[in-house]
Amino acid sequence: MPRPIPCSTPPGSRRPAAAPHGDPQRHLPVLALAGALLVTASTPVHPPQLAVHPNSNVERAGVLRGGVLTVALEARKGPWQLDGPGRPAEMVEVFSEPGKAPVAPGPLVRAPAGTEIRFSIRNELATPLTFLVPTSVRGVPGHGRGLDSMVVAPGAVGTLSTRASTPGNYVYRATTPARVNLVNDMAGALGGAIVIDSAGATAPHDRVFVIMATEDSASVACDDTTSTNPLAECTGRRFVYTINGRSWPNTERVHATVGDSLHWRVVNASRQLHPMHLHGFYYRVDAYSAPPRPGDDFGPVPGQMVVTQRMVPYSTMSMTWSPDRPGNWLFHCHVAMHASSDSLLVAPGDRSMHDMAGLLIGTIVAPRSGVIAVHDARPVRRLRLIAVATPATGGTNRSGYVSAASTAGLPTCARCARRFPDLPTMHFVLEEQDRRTELHTDASPEIDLIRNEPVAITIVNRLAVPTSVHWHGIEIEDSYMDGVVGFSGEGTHLSPAIVPGDSFIARFAPPRSGTFMYHAHADEAPEEIAGMEGALIVRDSGVAASRDDHVFFLKGQLRNPEHPLEIDGRSNPDTVVLHVGRAARFRFLNLASVSTPAPTFSLTARPDSLIEYASDSMLVRWVPVAKDGFDIPASRRVPRPAREIVAVGETYDFEYTPSRAGVLQLEVRSTFGTHGLFVRVPIRVQ
């Protein structure tokens, strides 16, 4: 399927040297072998190429009888017409049950705790297949780290049994010796969800959503050294991002009524990170499980309230949320490139959805009968937020850029910032009465609001392209104000794009104090890189900003000279002053979504710039205060080492009380790999 190649390799991905043929375990975690190893001289089977269907993960695969769930799966290749009828199909490895159409993701494996699960895998591919199941299903600690496995030869059938002893969510997957799969740890879409329910539990009223990142066939061709590569350029990897086998705008719409309790299981069946963000509401993380990763010290505790939760590779999450307001609300990955449009994914003339594609699903919440909306008669504070641009410095002298919607037909990725050589400096200017705030850089000013005080913010677009604004983390009363073009709102009353020269008034009253942000929600990747985002701080009435209250907003892109990684609009921030014996509040926000989706913020007394910091013994200790603007319970407000991964779309608040004068460093580093330094903020304690 001819698709463009991305401009950058996802963080943490490297092209490995070719593995010896028949060595599918290279680069895999330590394995606990169970089941049969069947490699025979059978002639490979070449079944009919049945079309691949999306899997809504509602029906359980296999037959459950007498405490045994028997699941028969067939691995084959099939045409996946992800983009709808009349669009090119991609040949992809998929699972099917015997006599049924192949599905992406693979069939749902679900059983109560105590069940013996017997997998029977028929390999109808032309290469050996390695089938993998986490040992944590049968109670071995370390979710996803240990794997039960078997290798099945072409044309052969292998069996693997496991005892489902631990309730939870898991990922099964399969890979082949192909070079590309050494990076992805999965062949095509050969993966699916395992859900183990508590024994004796009532019939579940939940939904299972499986996230997949399937490498595009053109990208796979870059790793095919056995044939002539038809592509003139192979500089990166290109993935198709789906939830339950569909990509926005074709993903499922979940329907609910105000007051409903929604229980979702989210399964990351990919080797990529996905910070999952819910618009307009907090959700409760009931359970979270992930393979252990160095440096990822502090995950969510059961019951934690968030608006964004990072999901590392092969992690799973059970979540609950209850909408108390009607309207249309998004749930999506906040890595911009995982939820941005692609010229080949957009139907011609589809202007309403041109800026989004990939890992997004929408919930349509209907009002509960008998509930009457009450008009808010309180005085309204009025602000103006003006979107402006200055010419780029890279060559031409223009104040706009080519939006993603107008790049159809380009042979290479037109969404990546490095392919915008003339991306201008874009930012918002804040006006209130006779006061004007403009940072004159590729950063936007902080907006300070009062809890429960109604505000009307007029967004004026003086750019050359359409835009919109999302109030990230704010519990907006009316989803029409939420900023998702062509989706926010109700029925046919949907939020419009703010076209050049036009304006839009967003009205809301923030119901809680905390750390939030606002950002463009149209053509997100380039507009956010260029500066279309800022901090949004909500305080209680009568509480003024303190000299010891500090905002650290990470934005920009790694290795982008025009729009580098910055804290508060500066790549070399000024010194921050703290005071001995006085509690300082640190507010961390991250919207550097293209190149650094999950960096680590740390506060250290170490004066040098060591490359490796994981064993830093000079970290100070701080106290967690809030996550995504939601206060952390008092029982968890205990001092701990001053290090936190802040994924894109997340905010964290910490308190630190220095005990003596001196010098500290606030560092933002790569979380994995070399832990390279991105940005440093010097801190002086006096």
Position 184 scores a pLDDT of: 77
The amino acid occupying position 155 is: G
Q: Residue 30 is encoded by which pair of tokens? A: 């330590």
Q: In what order do the strands lie in the sheet with 662-669?
A: 576-578, 677-685, 662-669, 600-604, 643-645
DSSP 289-349: E----TT----PPTTEEESEEEE-TT-EEEEEE---S-EEEEEEE-SGGGSS--TTTS-TT
Between these two residues, 297 and 680, which has the higher pLDDT value? 680
d(C-alpha 315, C-alpha 143), whole Å: 8
d(C-alpha 84, C-alpha 87), whole Å: 6
> pLDDT band at 411, cuts 50/70/90?
very low
Between these two residues, 394 and 539, which has the higher pLDDT value? 539
Phi, psi (degrees; rounded to nearest 5) at 652? -135, 140
Question: Is the backbone of residue 286 left (phi > 0), alpha (psi -120 to 50) or beta?
Answer: alpha
DSSP 8-state class, residue 27: T
Rounded to an integer, the average pLDDT of 444-467 is 95
Position 558 scores a pLDDT of: 84
The residue behind tokens 């507009």 is: 527
Position 315 scores a pLDDT of: 94
pLDDT digits (tens, 9 = 90+) for 565-584: 999 989 899 999 999 999 99
pLDDT digits (tens, 9 = 90+) for 478-517: 999 999 999 999 999 999 999 999 999 999 999 999 999 9
Predicted confidence (pLDDT) at residue 291 exceeds the cutoff of 90: no
Residue 281 contacts residue 323 (beta carbons within 8 Å): yes
d(C-alpha 210, C-alpha 109), whole Å: 12
d(C-alpha 430, C-alpha 428), whole Å: 6
Position 529 scores a pLDDT of: 86
d(C-alpha 257, C-alpha 259), whole Å: 6
Question: 10 Å Cβ neighbour count for 528?
Answer: 25
Instruction: Round the average pLDDT of the chain to a whole number and report it.
Output: 83
Predicted confidence (pLDDT) at residue 616 exceeds the cutoff of 70: yes
3-class SS of residue 418? helix
> pLDDT band at 383, cuts 50/70/90?
very high
CA distances from 457 to 386, 498, 510, 648 (A): 10, 13, 13, 25
- pLDDT exceeding 70 applies to what percent of the chain? 79
> pLDDT band at 3, cuts 50/70/90?
very low
pLDDT digits (tens, 9 = 90+) for 156-179: 999 999 999 999 999 999 999 987
Predicted confidence (pLDDT) at residue 343 exceeds the cutoff of 80: no
CA distances from 634 to 620, 631, 644 (A): 21, 9, 19
Position 393 scores a pLDDT of: 52
> pLDDT band at 606, cuts 50/70/90?
confident
User: Could you tell me which of 605, 610, 603 has the C-alpha nearest to residue 640?
Assistant: 603
Torsion of CA 172, 174, 180, 183, to 10 degrees: 40
The residue behind tokens 């250290």 is: 604
Q: Can you count the helices (H) and strands (E) in the chain?
A: 3, 46
Between these two residues, 649 and 204, which has the higher pLDDT value? 649
Q: Write down all domains in the chain, each with its CATH number in brackets.
A: 378-521 (2.60.40.420), 546-686 (2.60.40.420)
Residue 295 contacts residue 252 (beta carbons within 8 Å): no
User: Could you tell me which of 64, 169, 168, 163 has the C-alpha nearest to residue 114?
Assistant: 163
Predicted confidence (pLDDT) at residue 201 exceeds the cutoff of 90: no
Where do the H-state alpha helices sit in 61-204? 181-184
Position 10 scores a pLDDT of: 37
Residue 331 contacts residue 361 (beta carbons within 8 Å): yes
pLDDT digits (tens, 9 = 90+) for 235-284: 556 788 999 999 998 899 999 999 999 999 999 999 999 999 999 999 99
> pLDDT band at 48, cuts 50/70/90?
low
Position 671 scores a pLDDT of: 84
3-state SS, one letter per residue, for 356-396: CCECEEEEEEECCCCCCCCCCCCCCEEEEEEEEEECCCCCC
pLDDT digits (tens, 9 = 90+) for 670-684: 887 677 889 999 999
**Picking from 64-73, 294-303, 394-403, 411-420, which range would have the lowest pLDDT averaged per residue?**
411-420
Between these two residues, 309 and 218, which has the higher pLDDT value? 309
d(C-alpha 465, C-alpha 392), whole Å: 15
Predicted confidence (pLDDT) at residue 233 exceeds the cutoff of 70: no
According to DSSP, the residues that pair with 304 across neighbouring strands are 285
Position 427 scores a pLDDT of: 93
Predicted confidence (pLDDT) at residue 440 exceeds the cutoff of 60: yes
Position 27 scores a pLDDT of: 33
**Rg of the chain on CA atoms, in Å:** 25
Q: Residue 476 is encoded by which pair of tokens? A: 């907006």
